[in-house]
């Protein structure tokens, strides 16, 4: 498991990082924790000529709240997220990423920019309707979660851009549930479901968001299920009926572990469980 | 389980002597060996399962500034080394010359200054292939239109390797014909892999002046390997030294000789420098000795009231592209004929058909006791299938059919003589630990609530400790093992053994055997192993044979030393040897216990200036070769409790009870550790481990992302018990245990899953691995065999 030869730099500023990325050309890649990229390189499935490590760039780490939104530095590690209960769904999902060693090194920005549909955080960002801030030679821009994930391991972040910050609404007054199903405790999700539920005073569902992990080449929203639950009582029967629609319109790829049919079944089962947990916490 | 250390002088719980160096990271594995001027090798492997080699162009690799050479099959052919013999009297390509026959097969060997350059240079070698259709499914290997894989062999016109049978077919068919109840099942034991944490590798150091070859290598059988290298490479055997240093797990994966070892040797001879080759994880999973891959059609015949009469089976055995399994010559299907299990039968018959496929070679590995894993799985699944058919409790059915204690030694219907056993006691003990009746009540309550709980049993009998040399050899080498023991003047001792630890704790256990016989504390006994220059000849560690064969040799050689010590003590005490009494560590005069000499005093006297009695030349040492009179037959009763998530179909092993009878336990702590590890492997095999292939023969299990092995989070806290039925023919009554848990646990887990699903879903069989997707498919009425 030896990667091909590559160069490595660890610039001390964002400007230097952008410059290095630019000079490195199309085979340069950013390193932001490395727990997805380095295994791909060791398997020789990725062969960047230059790694630009962001670990020394100041100002890319930290969690702060501003106007009802969490602003999270791109190099904030999963381990820093998992212990912050106030982050709700994000904290719960971060705590289920791989194992503690990976969570101690992997970062939120690295995970989102990698765009692996089996990773936990893309589905969370999509359900939460968050966004990412990127900086490139043309300046700063913000990309909404719905526009970020383009295809398998492909995002709309340009090759000359750096993801600097993640923004996630605080979801005050909402409850959440995250259900991840994997072959072993520390594996990638075979299917994962993020659920956010806001209960009205009368106990009905005022609003709901459901994000699906690994049901396509990008994370998905289970919109049919969301619509079916909105305005309905948050009881077992209505939740089950809505969750039954979670696989609607999906066409997940099969693999060694799961057929498409089984994955759609899992999406329904896990959606029911995630919604039930969220509804239980909301009432 | 008692955690207290007993510090015994002899048998008992004793912390492992090897652990301080492992715990401190001070072990010396093959990859830790670094020699001055050492070069590094890497193997170029075939991307295709079956293809003709049109051309190989290594010029770009040779132009790499750090590359010292590239060896291809053509280069080896000139030295008559392109093919090597396997341990099954077949041949295997060292580097492919004509065709590649499985994905991952060795095609070229790069020698470079460092391992990074060697790996990079592989991508600079240009091989042109002409793809051929691949034989992936063993069931289709003998079809008339199947491509012939081994067209290199004269007269080979199909993919057939061997047909082998045991038992009486006519008699068995007659019993089946008159039986009240006959149940049949198609049962696959899929291809899995031992996946030792240390992969395979070697450092070859050939001295051009002296002609000596020293080979540090990941070998479970250093002496046998030395002999094979002498035969293959034509090197004189006395100038070959094979050193198997600390080994990070073997499980049968390190019994064969792999092309990489041979390439490292050739590279060292060619360059005159030491050459290291260590494979990576994917190379280990895709090219080295896999395990199982048996497609079995089983039948069981019984009376209506549950007396089992006979079993029969027909098996297709997938051996991959070369028949490279290591097992006794007369047993091409290993000891699979022990598939009669623990039951008193009227008749039995098995037929096994070995075939070539375009997959990596192997089959006999992974704590299998030479295919006892497959045998135990088949019989224990068939007994459960019969229990379903009869509507009988599977524990009751087993208890009704066990061989009874007074029937031992028991001749089974396929030619084995079981040495000793008390099966009912072990079964009842396991049921008592499990709280079997209470579990059945709990299951009924849960079932009423729609919860899926299953209770599975297996009762296995193994045949291990190969074996009597007149019946058992590998490549003509009889399966005996040697030991030599020297006691130094101060009473410290060195024991040389021919077997080799890969984690089993030989340095501790074998010291305890000598301690038990001579009364020398284990810490005063150094156990030397894994170095052909320093140890006596023997066939190595696999098939649970270390304790049954080499352990016996250790006891015998210690008794020889004790016999000498008696003579010396008699001289010292001026008494007749017959008038001396032995208590552990000391001879004394009968009736006058004050008059005595310790083994340490005797050792000093043996090397002293005083006259020695007749028959004693001086020194206190002996050697022996132990030729076992029979194999040993360990057994055990296992009970597994599973919960299945009705939504996701995920199987969770909640409890696992293992009562093992391996005869006398030398170090119970080590025995329990062996059982823990083997049970974890069984959970992996039953639930997640699979070397799968697509239709083109591409291996889909080539990394630990796809070939899943269980972690501590997937296994329960093991609940162990024991009974002790000594082997009557073994000097210390021990039977061997290393493979028992891997043999016994998969059927218990599968039986538990079927027990959970049969009543609510009508599921009567699921092949391993029982992944959530495949359990779910079975619950939908569509059971699917593994790919």
**In Å, what is the CA distance from B223 to each residue of A33, B327, B444?**
47, 16, 56
Nearest to B197 by CA among B121, B271, B248: B248
CB contact under 8 A, B772 and A43: no
Q: How far apart, in whole angstroms, are the C-alpha atoms of residue B88 and residue B150? A: 15
Q: How far apart, in whole angstroms, are the C-alpha atoms of residue B19 and residue B24? A: 8
**Where in the sequence numbering do the catalytic residues of B fall?**
220, 367-368, 739
pLDDT at A283 over 80: no
Nearest to B214 by CA among B279, B284, B261, B278: B261
CA distance B773 to chain A (A): 5
- Residue with structure tokens 């088949």? B378
Residues A184 and A159 in one domain: no
Would A2 be classed as within a structural domain?
A: no
Q: Which residue of A has its CA nearest to B122?
A: A4
Q: pTM for the full model? A: 0.97
B704 touches chain A (CB under 8 A): no
How many domains, chain A? 3
Q: How far apart, in whole angstroms, are the C-alpha atoms of residue B331 and residue B774? A: 34
Q: What is the number of CB-based contacts under 8 A between chain A and chain B?
A: 58
Average of pLDDT values for A173-186? 95
Q: How far apart, in whole angstroms, are the C-alpha atoms of residue B185 and residue B312? A: 11
Which pLDDT score is estimated for B233? 79
pLDDT at B5 over 80: no
Q: What would the pLDDT profile of A98-151 be if each residue is shown by its tens digit? A: 999 999 999 999 999 999 999 999 999 999 999 999 999 999 999 999 999 999
Q: Which of A43, A184, A272 sits opposite B714 (nearest CB)?
A: A184
Residues A197 and A159 in one domain: no
> Which residues in B lie closer than 8 A to residue A5 (C-beta atoms)?
116, 120
Residues A93 and A11 in one domain: no
Q: What would the pLDDT profile of B134-165 be if each residue is shown by its tens digit? A: 999 999 999 999 999 999 999 999 999 999 99
Average of pLDDT values for B718-743? 97
Q: How far apart, in whole angstroms, are the C-alpha atoms of residue B734 and residue B517? A: 14
pLDDT at B695 over 70: yes
B160 touches chain A (CB under 8 A): no
What CATH number is associated with residue A259? Answer: 3.30.390.50
Q: Which of A1, A266, A272 sits opposite B281 (nearest CB)?
A: A1
Residues A237 and A263 in one domain: yes
Torsion of CA B235, B237, B241, B247, to 10 degrees: 100
Domain boundary among A169, A185, A212: A169
Residues A119 and A198 in one domain: no
Residues 70-89, chain A, touching B (beta carbon < 8 A): none
CA distance A193 to chain B (A): 13
CB contact under 8 A, A256 and B706: yes
**How large is the ipTM?**
0.95
Instruction: Please report which confidence band the pLDDT of residue B610 belongs to, taking 50, 70 and 90 as the band edges.
Output: confident
CA distance B341 to chain A (A): 33
Question: Is the Cβ–Cβ distance between B220 and B250 less than 8 Å?
Answer: yes
pLDDT at B6 over 90: no
Residues A48 and A70 in one domain: no
Residues A17 and A47 in one domain: yes
Residues A161 and A223 in one domain: no
Would A34 be classed as within a structural domain?
A: yes
Would A1 be classed as within a structural domain?
A: no
pLDDT at B2 over 70: no
Percent above pLDDT 70 for chain B: 99
Our measurement of the distance from residue B378's CA atom to the centroid of its chain's CA atoms, rounded to an integer in Å, reads: 18
Q: What would the pLDDT profile of B23-32 be if each residue is shown by its tens digit? A: 999 999 999 9
User: Mutation test of the interface with chain B: which of A256, A272, A274, A277, choosing the one with the most B Cβ atoms within 10 A?
Assistant: A256
A265 touches chain B (CB under 8 A): yes
Q: How far apart, in whole angstroms, are the C-alpha atoms of residue B473 and residue B219? A: 18
CB contact under 8 A, B280 and A1: yes
CB contact under 8 A, B713 and A257: no
Domain boundary among A152, A169, A186: A169
Nearest to B61 by CA among B43, B79, B37, B38: B43
Residues A153 and A215 in one domain: no
CB contact under 8 A, B280 and A190: no
Domain boundary among A146, A169, A192: A169
CA distance B649 to chain A (A): 10
Percent above pLDDT 90 for chain B: 96
Residue B355, strand partner residues: B160, B318
**In Å, what is the CA distance from B151 to each residue of B84, B101, B142, B322, B639?**
16, 11, 14, 12, 48
Would A208 be classed as within a structural domain?
A: yes
Residues A96 and A148 in one domain: yes
Q: Which of A256, A257, A269 sits opposite B647 (nearest CB)?
A: A269
Would A201 be classed as within a structural domain?
A: yes
Would A255 be classed as within a structural domain?
A: yes
Q: What would the pLDDT profile of B267-318 be if each residue is shown by its tens digit? A: 999 999 999 999 999 999 999 999 999 999 999 999 999 999 999 999 999 9
Q: How far apart, in whole angstroms, are the C-alpha atoms of residue B720 and residue B430? A: 9
What CATH number is associated with residue A91? Answer: 3.30.465.10
> Which residues in A lie closer than 8 A to residue B776 (C-beta atoms)?
262, 265
pLDDT at B681 over 60: yes
> Which residues in B lie closer than 8 A to residue A2 (C-beta atoms)?
115-116, 119, 280
Would A58 be classed as within a structural domain?
A: no
> Which residues in A lie closer than 8 A to residue B700 (C-beta atoms)?
256
Average of pLDDT values for B213-238? 94
What CATH number is associated with residue A43? Answer: 3.30.43.10
CB contact under 8 A, B282 and A269: no
Q: Which of A181, A186, A257 sits opposite B711 (nearest CB)?
A: A186
CA distance B280 to chain A (A): 6
Quote the mean pLDDT of chain B.
96
Residues A148 and A96 in one domain: yes
A274 touches chain B (CB under 8 A): no
CB contact under 8 A, B772 and A185: no
CB contact under 8 A, A185 and B714: yes
Structural domain including A30 reads 7-53
Element (H, E) at B374: helix B372-390
Read off the DSSP letter of residue B699. B
Quote the mean pLDDT of chain A.
96
Q: How far apart, in whole angstroms, are the C-alpha atoms of residue B682 and residue B309? A: 29
Which pLDDT score is estimated for B260? 98
Question: Is the Cβ–Cβ distance between B198 and B300 less than 8 Å?
Answer: no
Residues 18-37, chain A, touching B (beta carbon < 8 A): none
Instruction: Please report which confidence band the pLDDT of residue B787 belongs to, taking 50, 70 and 90 as the band edges.
Output: low
> Which residues in B lie closer than 8 A to residue A4 (C-beta atoms)?
120, 123
Nearest to B668 by CA among B96, B182, B225, B13: B13
Question: Is the Cβ–Cβ distance between A167 and A131 less than 8 Å?
Answer: yes
Q: How far apart, in whole angstroms, are the C-alpha atoms of residue A20 and residue A23? A: 5
Instruction: Please report which confidence band the pLDDT of residue B321 belongs to, taking 50, 70 and 90 as the band edges.
Output: very high
How would you label A205-228 residue by residue, b for 16+ Cβ within 10 Å and e otherwise?
bbebbbbbbbbbbbbbbbebbbeb
Q: Which of A187, A257, A273 sits opposite B773 (nearest CB)?
A: A257
Question: Is the Cβ–Cβ distance between A257 and A190 less than 8 Å?
Answer: yes
User: Mutation test of the interface with chain B: which of A118, A193, A257, A263, choosing the one with the most B Cβ atoms within 10 A?
Assistant: A257
CA distance A124 to chain B (A): 21
CB contact under 8 A, B692 and A256: yes
CB contact under 8 A, A2 and B116: yes
A45 touches chain B (CB under 8 A): no
Residues A13 and A90 in one domain: no
pLDDT at B3 over 80: no
Helix, coil or strand: residue B153: coil
Read off the DSSP letter of residue B139. G
Peptide bond into B551 cis (omega under 30): no
Which pLDDT score is estimated for B615? 85
Average of pLDDT values for B25-53? 98
pLDDT at A164 over 80: yes
């Amino acid at each position: 498991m030896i990667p091909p030869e590559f160069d490595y730099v660890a610039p001390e500023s964002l400007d230097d990082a952008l410059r290095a990325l630019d000079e490195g050309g199309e085979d340069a890649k950013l390193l932001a924790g490395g727990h997805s990229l380095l295994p791909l390189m060791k398997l020789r499935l990725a062969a960047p000529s230059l790694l630009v490590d962001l670990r020394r760039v100041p100002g890319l780490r930290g969690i702060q709240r501003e106007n009802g939104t969490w602003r999270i530095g791109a190099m904030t590690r999963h381990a820093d997220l998992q212990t912050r209960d106030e982050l709700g769904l994000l904290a719960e999902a971060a705590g289920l990423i791989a194992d503690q060693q990976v969570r101690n090194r992997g970062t939120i920005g690295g995970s989102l920019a990698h765009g692996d549909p089996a990773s936990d955080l893309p589905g969370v960002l999509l359900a939460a309707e968050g966004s990412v801030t990127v900086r490139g030679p043309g300046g700063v821009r913000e990309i909404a979660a719905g526009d970020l994930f383009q295809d398998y391991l492909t995002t709309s972040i340009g090759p000359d851009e750096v993801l600097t910050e993640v923004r996630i609404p605080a979801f005050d007054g909402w409850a959440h549930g995250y259900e991840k199903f994997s072959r072993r405790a520390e594996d990638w999700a075979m299917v994962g479901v993020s659920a956010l539920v806001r209960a009205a005073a009368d106990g009905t569902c005022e609003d709901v968001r459901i994000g699906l992990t690994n049901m396509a080449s990008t994370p998905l929203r289970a919109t049919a299920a969301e619509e079916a639950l909105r305005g309905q009582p948050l009881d077992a029967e209505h939740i089950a009926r809505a969750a039954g629609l979670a696989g609607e319109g999906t066409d997940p790829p099969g693999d060694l572990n799961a057929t498409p049919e089984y994955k759609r079944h899992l999406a329904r089962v896990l959606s029911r469980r995630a919604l039930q947990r969220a509804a239980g916490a909301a009432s | 389980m008692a955690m207290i250390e007993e510090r015994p002088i002899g048998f008992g719980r004793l912390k492992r002597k090897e652990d301080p160096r492992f715990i401190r990271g001070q072990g010396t594995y093959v990859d830790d060996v670094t020699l001055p001027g050492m070069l590094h090798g890497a193997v170029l492997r075939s991307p295709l399962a079956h293809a003709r080699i049109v051309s190989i162009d290594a010029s770009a690799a040779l132009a790499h500034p750090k590359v010292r050479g590239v060896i291809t099959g053509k280069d080896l052919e000139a030295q008559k080394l392109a093919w090597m013999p396997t341990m099954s009297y077949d041949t295997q390509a060292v580097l492919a010359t004509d065709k590649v026959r499985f994905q991952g097969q060795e095609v070229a060997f790069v020698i470079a200054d460092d391992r990074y350059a060697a790996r990079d240079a592989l991508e600079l070698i240009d091989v042109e292939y002409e793809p051929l259709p691949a034989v992936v499914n063993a069931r289709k290997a003998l079809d008339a239109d199947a491509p012939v894989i081994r067209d290199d062999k004269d007269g080979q016109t199909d993919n057939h390797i061997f047909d082998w049978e045991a038992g009486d077919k006519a008699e068995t068919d007659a019993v089946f014909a008159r039986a009240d109840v006959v149940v049949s099942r198609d049962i696959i034991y899929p291809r899995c892999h031992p996946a030792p944490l240390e992969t395979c590798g070697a450092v070859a150091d050939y001295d051009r002046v002296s002609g000596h070859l020293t080979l540090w290598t990941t070998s479970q059988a250093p002496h046998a390997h030395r002999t094979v290298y002498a035969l293959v490479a034509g090197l004189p055997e006395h100038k070959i030294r094979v050193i198997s240093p600390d080994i990070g797990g073997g499980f049968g994966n390190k019994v064969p000789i792999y092309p990489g070892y041979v390439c490292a040797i050739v590279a060292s001879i060619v360059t005159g420098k030491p050459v290291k080759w260590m494979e990576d994880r994917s190379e280990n999973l895709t090219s080295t000795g896999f395990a199982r891959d048996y497609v079995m059609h089983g039948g069981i015949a019984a009376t209506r009231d549950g007396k089992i009469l006979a079993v029969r089976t027909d098996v297709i055995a997938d051996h991959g592209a070369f028949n490279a399994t290591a097992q006794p010559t007369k047993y091409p299907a290993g000891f699979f004929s022990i598939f009669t299990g623990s039951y008193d039968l009227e008749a039995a018959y098995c037929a096994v058909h070995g075939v070539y496929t375009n997959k990596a070679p192997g089959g006999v590995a992974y704590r299998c006791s030479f295919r006892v894993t497959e045998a135990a799985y088949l019989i224990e699944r068939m007994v459960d299938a019969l229990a379903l058919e009869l509507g009988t409790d599977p524990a009751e059915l087993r208890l009704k059919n066990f061989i009874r204690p007074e029937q031992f030694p028991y001749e089974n219907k396929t030619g084995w003589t079981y040495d000793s056993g008390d099966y009912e006691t072990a079964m009842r003990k396991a049921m008592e630990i499990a709280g079997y009746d209470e579990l059945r009540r709990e299951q009924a309550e849960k079932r009423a609530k729609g919860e899926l709980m299953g209770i599975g049993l297996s009762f296995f009998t193994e045949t291990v400790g190969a074996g009597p040399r007149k019946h058992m050899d590998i490549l003509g080498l009889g399966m005996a093992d040697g030991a030599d023991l020297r006691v130094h003047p101060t009473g410290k001792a060195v024991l040389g053994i021919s077997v080799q630890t890969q984690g089993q704790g030989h340095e501790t256990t074998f010291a305890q055997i000598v301690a038990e016989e001579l009364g020398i504390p284990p810490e005063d006994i150094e156990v030397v192993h894994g170095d052909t220059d320093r140890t006596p000849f023997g066939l190595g560690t696999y098939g649970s044979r270390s304790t049954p064969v080499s352990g016996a040799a250790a006891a015998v050689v210690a008794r020889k030393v004790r016999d000498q010590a008696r003579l010396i003590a008699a001289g010292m005490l001026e008494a007749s040897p017959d008038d001396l009494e032995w208590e552990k560590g000391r001879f004394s005069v009968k009736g006058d216990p004050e008059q005595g000499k310790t083994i340490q005093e005797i050792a000093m006297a043996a090397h002293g200036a005083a006259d020695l009695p007749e028959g004693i030349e001086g020194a206190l040492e002996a050697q022996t070769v132990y030729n076992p009179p029979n194999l040993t037959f360990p057994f055990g009763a296992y009970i597994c409790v599973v919960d299945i998530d009705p939504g996701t179909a995920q199987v969770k092993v909640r409890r696992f009870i293992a009562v093992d009878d391996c005869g006398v336990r030398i170090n119970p702590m080590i025995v329990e550790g062996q059982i823990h590890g083997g049970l974890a492997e069984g959970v992996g095999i039953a639930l997640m481990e699979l070397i799968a292939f697509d239709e083109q023969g591409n291996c889909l299990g080539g990394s630990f992302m796809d070939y899943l092995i269980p972690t501590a989070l997937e296994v329960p806290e093991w609940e162990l018990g024991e009974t002790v039925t000594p082997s009557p023919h073994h000097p210390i009554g021990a039977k061997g245990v290393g493979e028992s848990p891997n043999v016994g646990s998969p059927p218990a887990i599968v039986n538990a899953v079927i027990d959970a699903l049969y009543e609510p879903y009508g599921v009567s069989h699921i092949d391993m691995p029982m992944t959530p997707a495949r359990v779910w498919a079975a619950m939908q009425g569509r059971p699917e065999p593994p790919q």
